[in-house]
Amino acid sequence: MTHLVDTSVWHKYGRYAGVMNVVNELDASGAIFSTCPPVIAEYCFSAKNPFELTAMADEMAQFYQLDGLSLTQSVHHIQLALTKQGLHRAVGAADAIIAAYAIAAEQVLVTCDSDYLHIARALKKGRSQAQLSVLHISEAGPVTKV
């Protein structure tokens, strides 16, 4: 199974043993890690200079790239499900797009960000055909699967 890894995981990977352990376990089990343009943009946003930006972009280039997917309907579907649950402001636009990539590519979204739990639960409550599989990692390491 492939896993779209969210920016929150990469920013916490080297700082929290719990996050590092879960990612390393996924890697050891044969998980294929992917990324997408919004994750790359978020990850590279923290670069302090052109050298660091290039290095960070090179890091992201190591992962399977999800691109060229038609996401307009999926993003709308996610936002509609959230709105029906009263959570339309609980998830930012970038996170809705990243979730749409995960759904379109049938990937598990690996994250430390609770916004994706809102999306997965809203889609599930709305009995949507499109579902989001989330592996949420807390900084201490416990994992929640939705």
Q: Let me know the angle formed at the C-alpha of 131 by 130 and 133, rounded to the nearest 5 degrees.
A: 150
For position 67, what pLDDT does the model report?
A: 84
Tens of pLDDT, residue by residue over 29-41, are 999 999 999 999 9
For position 112, what pLDDT does the model report?
A: 95
Mean predicted confidence (pLDDT) in 80-97: 91
For position 73, what pLDDT does the model report?
A: 87
For position 88, what pLDDT does the model report?
A: 81
What is the DSSP secondary structure assignment for residue 36, as one 8-state letter? -
CB 49 within 8 A of CB 14: no
Mean predicted confidence (pLDDT) in 75-100: 91
CB 86 within 8 A of CB 80: no
Enumerate domains of the chain plus CATH numbers. 2-145 (3.40.50.1010)
pLDDT surpasses 70 at 1: no
For position 8, what pLDDT does the model report?
A: 95
Tens of pLDDT, residue by residue over 93-120, are 999 999 999 999 999 999 999 999 999 9
Residues 6+ apart with CB under 8 A from 71: 97, 100, 101, 104
